[in-house]
Structure 1
Amino acid sequence: MPMRYAFSVLLASILALGGCGAPDDSRDGNGEHRALSVDKEAAASSRAAAERKEAYVEAPDIEIPFHREVLDNGLTVIVHEDHKAPVVAVNIWYKVGSKDEEPGKTGFAHLFEHLMFNGSENYPGEYFEPFQRSGATDMNGTTNNDRTNYFETVPRGAVDMALWMESDRMGHFQGAISQEKLDEQRGVVKNEKRQSENAPYGEAFETIARSTFPPHHPYSWTTIGSMEDLDNASLEDVKQWFADYYQPANAILVIAGDIKVDEAMAKARKYFADIPSTTVPRRLENWELPVQPDKREVLTDQVPQTRIYKVWNVPAVGSEEENALELMTSLLANRNNSLLYRRLVREEQVATGVSAYYYGRQLAGQLMIMVDVKPGVPVARVEKLLDEELREFANAGVSAAELRRIKQSEFAGLVKGLEKIGGFGGKSDILARSEFYYGDPGALVAGLEDYARVSALDVQKVAQRWLTPESYTLVIKPRAEYQAADEGADRSSLPPVDKTVELELPEQREFTLDNGLRVVLAERHDTPAVFMNLQFRSGAAADGDKPGLASLAARMLSEGAGKYDSLAFSSRQEELGASISADSGLDYNNITFSALTSQLEPSLELLAEVVQEPLFPEEDLARVKSNRIDAIAQEKAQPQGLALRELPPLLFGQGHPYGAPLTGSGTVEGIRAVTRDDLVKFHNTWLRPDNAVLTVVGDVTAEKLKAMLNDTLGGWKAPEGEVPQIDVAEVERPSQPRVYLLDRPGAKQSYILAGLVIPPWQPEGAEAFDAMASVIAGKFTSRVNMNLREDKHWSYGAQAVSLDTEAQRPYVLFAPVQTDKTAAAIKELLREYKEFLGDQPITEQELADYRDDEVLKQSARFQTKAQLLSSIAWQVEKGLPPEYIANYPQRVGALTRDDVMTAAREVLEPGQFTWVVVGDLDEIREEVEALDIGPVTVLPGES
């Protein structure tokens, strides 16, 4: 069979979207062979060719050149050169996932992924530590049904270190597996499972897997496994798992970035060639497609609204129908213009959201549709409408024009996303994924043309074949209450990291349009795309007595403008391959824009309509408001969402501009009160050229851009009068800690937040504050996270963040912990902060690690246009000169312990924390009160 391209795999990994295959034209909707005469066959072939041509969109000219070589020990090595930034991505895929487990021993693949971050025989320390001293980014590990991968992007000077570490845990890990480490990571994984199950709809996918695949099928259990199996995992079991699967002949290594092929291959041989391979267990590659489930289940959960899941078993990755299946999901859902969204959310208004995706795996695929039912609407009515639309779709098909729009939109997303070399969806990921699923690193890109040729008839055929009444339906309703060789790399010590960082940042050019709009441009011509950010002062701080107004105004900007209603606006973006969206923060609203260089001018014309002529249609406003209110209910159903809603008014006070929920959604009362006139007034008041700045990064010159912007945005004029000022009052911290409890009966975890109001951001001392924040609770290896996750394994992760506001900033510490450790966790958190400020200040080693990490991270910080745009927009927002970014490494490198501790003592005071704890009060209240850290109040929850 010729190699097929899974566009879904490629695009989903880049932009979390979908993609692709070419169907079998010899079958009808029921999969039966048709007996056609020669004449009829010729006529049918002619029609098919015409339809294919009508829906054809020229595939982008993309190349990811690579060198592929298999070492003598069986390791597949793939190298790709990309010299635009001084970074290198390392991505290693092991051909083992949860499908390789057996009943009674589920969760091994995922558990082992966790173990692999606990150090190796020659580096027994925490695996993240040398990377977080070396400026690593995009560092993680993941497990799914089919494979396990580990990846990191490092500065060019840290390549040897990264390859030494990856090879050490491949060839020198078994002796590092201890009972203590097994117990520790077993606890972490169990907390991850609790955290997942504690979320609304958290048991859906485990139920779906169990109900749609027969017993003993490798996909009938989820990757995380069962609590019982995790408890029963023995040290011998785990060591055997490593011996069986973690060997070179069962792995793919990709090295991509600022490195030559010869150099990369020499390093690969040095670090990996001496690792032996034994007999690799037979890899499961085929399994008969399970019969179509015809079953319905109903569960209850602490959710605010009913959710419907419909699932069909469909062909696996690599089938000839893959492309059409992926395109079908984009036609059905995931876009404002999609069939199901139009019918269920916009027209009938019986749902608040609908999504669909093709989940392609090695042994089988699944087609899944999810619908969030609007509260108060009968489920039966929604299911009836859903079934009607699916039948109509299968019978009537789709227009070639709509299919072209989707292809153009996704091709544009692909072009814009191919700037990253590492991490999820980077080029190293694409090469590894392509080799893993198709046996050819170039298969994904080479197959773009197959995707481009998929016709409307192809899509209709897969709809007729697979969207049958025989399916699995799950309805989740709200509860009533709611061995090492002598040769090879030196394993006695970790290779040193070259700490030389050489950045070549494009020059910033600034000009002013005829209407007074300030524009800052950084030219970058590596890919034919342009990214923009139009930022204007407003945000939640400008909401006044209608919390949620600014975010609602941002949302409504995509509901039509100028001559385009909402659906036409969405279609026009797809035709151009442009993206225009808006969001809202505490102090600013932003309109973000991206376009292909070839379509820049018409895309800017569309942007101009959004800026100058938003429609704010009454009918769409009513729908958006209703859906926003339902979304707020969803937030309240999630422990973290509930806590993030309750904390701000406790910190800043009711009615304060920063007292809005940190989720950004506003309040039910505020959303209900917003009228179209409010949106028009908000737009006229705040979205004006003298209150905005446009930052641009991309493939365009200043001269050309200025002319285009004057032509398209020239009619946008500032109204008379000054821009209103937003008064953000200063607040006092409480004199003692306060504890607020929110009840969530039956919760499997408690969600802990601790908030503190800290001074506004200032350039002076900013680096010292960041160093303090990182060491205490800002990164994986922080004191807080290592305590609660790695040492105690009470939590899947604990971290603190500070919001970047214009006035006083909220500093928020968050830690989801198992219920029976709630009070103990609060005690530990307090101890960590008090000790940091007391007799255990930042150490020289911690500071050195932070300095190295931050300085070396700059190598990857400006890899993509979007990253560069974000940094320049922030610099412009803060009124800083361009050299502020370039001089950052020098400022960090000059930090001293005294600098850091001065910043810590000026800002941190754990005795003034405001605590919010969401959990089962019957289980946690008495112990929390017994801590006696401050007055305890039980909150009724937001109405």
Structure 2
Amino acid sequence: MAFGVCVLLSSCASSSAPTASGDHAAVEALLEGVDIGYETFTLDNGLRVVVHEDNKAPVVAVSIWYNVGSKDEPPGRTGFAHLFEHLMFNGSENAPGDYFEPLREIGATDLNGTTWFDRTNYFQTVPRSALERALFLESDRMGHLLGAVTQENLTNQIGVVQNEKRQGDNQPYGMVEYAQLEALFPESHPYHHSTIGSMADLSAASLADVHAWFRENYGPNNAVLVLAGNINTAEARQLVERYFGDIARGPVNTPAAADVPTLPNRIDETMYDRVATTRLYRNWVVPGLTDEDQVALQVGATILGGLASSRLDNELVRGEQTAVRVSAGVQPFQRVSMFEVDVDVKPGEDADAVSRRLDEIITEFVANGPTEDEVRRTVMRTLSGRIRGLERVGGFDGKAVALAEGMLYADNPDFERQRLQELASITPEQVRAVMQRWLSRPVYALRVVPGDRAAYAEAPATGRGPAAPPSNYVAGPPRQMPAVAADASLDFPDVQRGRLTNGIEVVYAQRTAVPVTYVTVEFDAGVAADPVNRLGTQALMLNLLNEGTTSLNSIQLAEAQERLGATVYNGATLDRTVIGLTSLSTNLDPSLALLGDVIRNPAFSPAEVERVRRQQLAGIASEMTRPDAIARRTLPALLYGADHPYGRPFSGSGTANVVETLTRDELVAFHQAWIRPDSATIYVVSDLPLNRVTAALNRTFGNWTPPSVARGTKNFGAVIPTLRPRIVLVNRPQSPQSFILAGQVLNAQGTDDLLNLQSANEVLGAGFLARINMELRERRGWSYGARGAVQLVEHQIPYLIQAPVQADRTGDSIAATLEQINAFLTNDGVRAAELNRNIPGNIRQLSGQFETSPAILGALQSNALYNRPDNYWETVADRYRGMTTQGLDQVARQYIDGDNFVWVIVGDASVVRPQLDRLGLPVEVVNPQ
């Protein structure tokens, strides 16, 4: 397969942005990279099957899509499709118990299920040796489910879904979708209500409803099964026939018809919410994903607000500087789509004036359309992104998703490629015509402004229907779950090393599945490098790197990346700072030149410093409105003390009073102290050989010398205070949920050998089946998900627990969590069944865990950070095999102390405080700081 995108760049110091060839041959070469080969067949019962063979790893993605979603729900049953998705994870007649249990044992990765307006899907990527087990499980819940659906399961999952709803609603702007659907669609329209549904309808769901819903919608003739990975069509046909062939057809489901409504007049509405920034929305309903206008709509939205160099970015954020964030996009559904533009108004600006200006920009764009260059940049950005995504066979966005969506909605697995071909040849005139056709209609204009929310509609105390299922259901004959063969140990790519002429080490692994190169330049800095009295310095410095160099301004930088199909990004963990590049391998040289310019020659233009400062301040203010972010800003100093490098907000955004006063000189000084060649290591995963990559890196970084100033240092000698168990309640009124974040500092370093501790914690806190999650979610129904984690950092590590829980169960949730922890640490440690499930699962999941290049890149970086050998991941299988329940119990009890947690609770103090007082721990109530 040939890839021939050739782009030239004269030098890193060029005064103009690089340009892509953009010719037809180059785009055609890119299209070759998104050609997913497949074969199809249909069983006698109507099940449509798509098979794609990909032998890069010994794994297979199993993805089944049912042609039913929330648009198909009858009146009074909103949220039912999603509720039923949850019930299908509670076991089937021949695989009783939690569905995740047998999948955990076989080492499934990319495992989940989702519901949306048009479909319900379930997916998992499994080792090839476990494929029969996965097919058995999927077929058993398709054909043998109802005998395992109990009133207990139904009642519990109603609680879980209601907490999932509370979790989303509790976020800033969390009530917007309800207002949008209410305004845009008439009451009888299938898309009028949200997929999550209403509290009252969820509470009213009965077991009889469940049986009827299953029989009407979950037959094999209403489903598409995709197998993508280490399998061929002949093998697939035999296995699918064996496990699905005897399932009877169900009723034919014709998805609910739905027109594209047009508002009679513009609608302007204002909503009050506990937000930091006024947000302006513009919404139109446009045609669905199979409509001929869909590609042009996507291109138009991307140019308007989806590119880094979008019209709205350049006008409102960079130019007039009246907004701190903009976006535009199209959310496609089967019958209709949602075209949305949103703008976060810069604090202190006149929202009315920004709103008028937003309408002017949209009107001008609709009238005149995009330029040829804007369209070509969008095409390159979209195609290169899709090539990267196709390395994964399953998950949320891999090849199985493209095949399943095409087959389900267009009866054509090749639908995505056909749409990308349309994209490659689209013209500015086509985009302009489609924008005029659909965005010249009346708009729904919503404004969300800071203030108190309206009263929250909580779940009714009663209302569930009859408990008894229909009496005529008879379970089918028993089926035997297939055994799973032993798996070979992981074959991790060979790690090679090189050095640039200036001594920078290059750590490299080769992956040839896609023609993409991933480069991360990593610096020994991180959030921990921020001066203790100047928190937020690094974040502001990093945020400015892509906003202009000494040769390219921010718009030129953004456009250059788009023309190349490259992405230059940056970020920081507690311990390390990364500035990285994702590039088509054929464009590596000019893309590296951009990366080098960003790293070596930042301009820190005074005007850009002021603009980005305002964005960061707005981001900090936004953090103070999100319950999870509030907790993560509060807990670190309680655990480590304010003087410790880990005792600062985990986000790294810093504090407003400091960011307000940071000077350009401080940013330049920080860059010189930390972003320098004698503090750098370069990690690369590429289809190109090491010598080719090293030569390109040398051209960009080989002559980079350290500045004369001293390297930065971090003070890990700061004393960590003695922990005092207590509860800090951060008052956040009008919160239907409380966010719990608890922690303690362990007597262990990230560079210690912690595999046994992490394995023990898989039983207690990590993963769906862990004790804490099973107690709060699956048994009690008080949370959508809870977990405890051994949080790896380079130096002294914390153990963290997090759980969003319904407000009226906050105290009970803490008590139940402590009960699980203390039971585990005293007399009820790792059970044999848990060991026998987790250990084989850990071994078998290794191939899926490292299926993609970004996963390999992350492993290279973590191995270095935690002082592991290059072959570390090839050694863990044998270490897992040697683990015992006694050994895991011993290590858990050595490190974790159930009586020594600091609890941060973000919630409504008027509801939560009385519950906490009953726990016997000191309680301090504070406001967000």
What band does the TM-score fall into relative to the shorter chain?
A: over 0.9
Q: Secondary structure at the match of 2:126?
A: strand
Aligned residue for 1:280?
252
CA contact (8 A) 1:59 1:452 kept: no
Offset of 1:54 from its aligned partner?
13
Q: How does 1:791-830 map to 2 (within 5 A)?
A: 791-830=779-818
Offset of 1:630 from its aligned partner?
1.0
Offset of 1:289 from its aligned partner?
3.9
Aligned residue for 1:505?
492
CA contact (8 A) 2:323 2:344 kept: yes
Q: Secondary structure at the match of 2:92?
A: coil
Aligned residue for 2:839?
851
Aligned residue for 2:31?
60
CA contact (8 A) 2:732 2:927 kept: no
Q: How does 1:501-650 map to 2 (within 5 A)?
A: 501-544=488-531, 545-650=533-638
CA contact (8 A) 1:65 1:81 kept: yes
Residue segments in structure 2 that go unaligned for 5+ positions in a row: 1-21, 455-472
Offset of 1:607 from its aligned partner?
1.4
CA contact (8 A) 1:111 1:189 kept: yes
- Structure 1: how far apart are the matches of 2:30 and 2:523? 36
Deviations 1:616-646 (A, max 9, x none): 2221121111111111111111111111111
- Structure 1: how far apart are the matches of 2:450 and 2:297? 32
Deviations 1:361-393 (A, max 9, x none): 122122111111222222211110101101111
Offset of 1:657 from its aligned partner?
1.4
Deviations 1:130-161 (A, max 9, x none): 11111111000000000000000011111011
Aligned residue for 1:457?
429
Aligned residue for 1:923?
911
Offset of 1:802 from its aligned partner?
3.3
- Structure 1: how far apart are the matches of 2:494 and 2:27? 39
Matched, 1:194 2:143: no
* Shift in alpha-carbon separation, 1:735–1:377, aligned structure 2, 3 A: closer
* Shift in alpha-carbon separation, 1:650–1:502, aligned structure 2, 3 A: closer
- Structure 2: how far apart are the matches of 1:128 and 1:54? 47
Mean Cα deviation higher: 108-117 or 754-763? 754-763
Aligned residue for 1:912?
900
- Structure 2: how far apart are the matches of 1:289 and 1:746? 34
CA contact (8 A) 1:735 1:912 kept: yes
- Structure 2: how far apart are the matches of 1:543 and 1:504? 39
Q: Secondary structure at the match of 1:598?
A: helix
CA contact (8 A) 2:190 2:258 kept: no
- Structure 2: how far apart are the matches of 1:819 and 1:447? 46
CA contact (8 A) 1:274 1:485 kept: no
Aligned residue for 1:840?
828
Q: Secondary structure at the match of 1:183?
A: helix
CA contact (8 A) 1:539 1:551 kept: no
- Structure 2: how far apart are the matches of 1:438 and 1:481? 42
Offset of 1:290 from its aligned partner?
4.4
Offset of 1:525 from its aligned partner?
2.1
* Shift in alpha-carbon separation, 1:285–1:252, aligned structure 2, 3 A: farther
Q: How does 1:171-250 map to 2 (within 5 A)?
A: 171-250=143-222
- Structure 1: how far apart are the matches of 2:819 and 2:718? 29
Deviations 1:440-496 (A, max 9, x none): 11121133221111101111112222222611111111116998999xxx9443211
Letter aligned with residue 307 of structure 1: R
* Shift in alpha-carbon separation, 1:484–1:595, aligned structure 2, 3 A: farther
Letter aligned with residue 865 of structure 1: S
Letter aligned with residue 877 of structure 2: P
Q: Secondary structure at the match of 2:37?
A: coil
Letter aligned with residue 606 of structure 2: E
CA contact (8 A) 2:127 2:844 kept: yes
Letter aligned with residue 715 of structure 2: D
Aligned residue for 2:927?
940
TM-score between the two structures when normalised by the length of structure 2 = 0.93
Matched, 1:881 2:869: yes
Aligned residue for 1:430?
402
* Shift in alpha-carbon separation, 1:738–1:485, aligned structure 2, 3 A: closer
Offset of 1:763 from its aligned partner?
5.7
Q: Secondary structure at the match of 2:227?
A: strand
CA contact (8 A) 1:59 1:449 kept: no
CA contact (8 A) 1:139 1:151 kept: yes
CA contact (8 A) 2:162 2:199 kept: yes
Letter aligned with residue 152 of structure 1: Q
Aligned residue for 1:891?
879
CA contact (8 A) 2:273 2:449 kept: yes
CA contact (8 A) 1:759 1:808 kept: yes
Offset of 1:396 from its aligned partner?
2.6
CA contact (8 A) 2:273 2:452 kept: no
* Shift in alpha-carbon separation, 1:718–1:456, aligned structure 2, 3 A: same
- Structure 2: how far apart are the matches of 1:279 and 1:814? 43
Offset of 1:680 from its aligned partner?
1.3
Match of 1:310 among 278, 282, 298: 282
Mean Cα deviation higher: 709-718 or 152-161? 709-718
Deviations 1:256-294 (A, max 9, x none): 111121111111000000000132233335535444662
- Structure 1: how far apart are the matches of 2:644 and 2:353? 43
Q: Secondary structure at the match of 2:95?
A: coil
Match of 1:394 among 362, 366, 374: 366
Offset of 1:758 from its aligned partner?
1.6
Offset of 1:708 from its aligned partner?
1.6
CA contact (8 A) 1:56 1:454 kept: no
- Structure 2: how far apart are the matches of 1:808 and 1:764? 10
Match of 2:352 among 380, 394, 402: 380
Q: Secondary structure at the match of 2:782?
A: coil
Letter aligned with residue 842 of structure 1: V
- Structure 2: how far apart are the matches of 1:821 and 1:275? 42
Aligned residue for 2:481?
494
CA contact (8 A) 2:644 2:718 kept: no
CA contact (8 A) 2:366 2:440 kept: no
Letter aligned with residue 118 of structure 1: N
Aligned residue for 1:30?
none
Q: How does 1:692-711 map to 2 (within 5 A)?
A: 692-711=680-699
Residue segments in structure 1 that go unaligned for 5+ positions in a row: 1-50
- Structure 2: how far apart are the matches of 1:431 and 1:922? 51
Match of 2:889 among 895, 901, 918: 901
- Give the superposed CA RMSD: 2.0
Letter aligned with residue 60 of structure 1: L
Aligned residue for 2:420?
448
TM-score between the two structures when normalised by the length of structure 1 = 0.91
- Structure 2: how far apart are the matches of 1:229 and 1:801? 35
CA contact (8 A) 1:760 1:805 kept: no
Offset of 1:759 from its aligned partner?
3.3
Would you say how many aligned residue pairs link Structure 1 and Structure 2?
888
Deviations 1:860-916 (A, max 9, x none): 122111111111121123333212121121122211223212221221112110111
